[in-house]
């Protein structure tokens, strides 16, 4: 009986940490649409810049240096901020999330800062993806986590965030 009370207390404290009901979470369709739109915009913007600058004189993959890889990643970050910085800062949305009708919130309902989103939802998972031999598997498995009932991908777990429908009111006041 004591164990049952402990489980009940744990479940109650977990539900108070996450104020969102399942129907308030972004749907799988919203998550996929937002990711597709953002991925398309990122590639359509970053690839021409990278191919005309960092990789302009590269004719074989073996010519790519570590410095070039770092430069490519810096360009991707700058393009990401250029495309999404304003919406992320003001609404917790990328362009894709805006068009798909979803937004990013901390699990307790607060709007995360732009820095938190960029570092914890983008840079840290991106670095995990660069781990030799396991990076691709980590990223793929991390994305597959959105199929679970809480619809949180690996980057959501790392950042302590959840993606909810844009019309869901924020449960807490979040001054910037």
- For the stretch 96-126, pLDDT in tens is 999 999 999 999 999 999 999 999 999 999 8
- H or E element in which residue 100 lies: helix 95-100
From the list 46, 53, 111, 118, the residue with the least C-alpha distance to 81 is: 118
For the segment 68-76, the average pLDDT, to the nearest whole number, is 91
- Over 90: is that where the pLDDT of 171 sits? no
The values of phi and psi at residue 104, to 5°, are: -95, 135
* Residue carrying the six token digits 């991390």: 142
Question: Does residue 90 sit within a domain?
Answer: yes
**Residue 143 placed within a domain:** yes
The pLDDT of residue 14 is 38
Range of the domain at 112: 23-165
* DSSP β-bridge partners for residue 103: 164
Domain-embedded: residue 64: yes
- The CA distance from 42 to 77, in Å, is 10
SS3 state at 102: strand
CA distance 51 to 34: 25
Q: How far apart are CA 16 and CA 48, in angstroms?
A: 46
- What is the pLDDT, as a whole number, of residue 172? 61
Residues 6+ apart with CB under 8 A from 49: 75, 79
Is 5 inside any structural domain?
no
Q: What is the dihedral of CA 134, 139, 142, 144, to 10 degrees?
A: -110
Q: Classify each residue of 135-160 as buried b or exposed e, where b means 16 or more C-beta atoms within 10 Å of its C-beta.
A: eeeebeebbeebeeeebbbbbbebbb
Please check whether residue 12 lies inside any domain of the structure. Answer: no
Q: Tell me the pTM.
A: 0.82
Domain-embedded: residue 83: yes
Q: In the chain, how long is the greatest CA-to-CA distance?
A: 71
Is there a domain that residue 13 lies in? no
How many domains does the chain fold into?
A: 1
| Percent of the chain with pLDDT strictly greater than 70 | 87
What is the pLDDT, as a whole number, of residue 6? 40
Query: Per the domain annotation, does 170 fall within a domain?
Result: no
């Amino acid at each position: 009986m004591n164990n049952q009370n402990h489980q009940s207390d744990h479940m109650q404290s977990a539900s108070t940490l996450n104020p969102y009901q399942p129907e308030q979470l972004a749907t799988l369709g919203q998550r996929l649409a937002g990711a597709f739109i953002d991925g398309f915009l990122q590639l359509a913007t970053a690839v021409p810049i990278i191919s005309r600058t960092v990789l302009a004189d590269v004719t074989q993959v073996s010519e790519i240096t570590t410095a070039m890889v770092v430069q490519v990643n810096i360009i991707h970050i700058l393009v990401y901020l250029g495309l999404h910085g304003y919406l992320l800062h003001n609404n917790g949305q990328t362009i894709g999330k805006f068009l798909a009708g979803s937004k990013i919130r901390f699990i307790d309902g607060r709007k995360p800062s732009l820095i938190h989103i960029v570092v914890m939802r983008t840079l840290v998972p991106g670095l995990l993806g660069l781990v030799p031999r396991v990076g691709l598997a980590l990223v793929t498995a991390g994305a597959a986590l959105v199929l679970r009932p809480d619809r949180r991908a690996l980057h959501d777990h790392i950042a302590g965030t959840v993606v909810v429908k844009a019309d869901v009111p924020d449960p807490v006041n979040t001054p910037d």
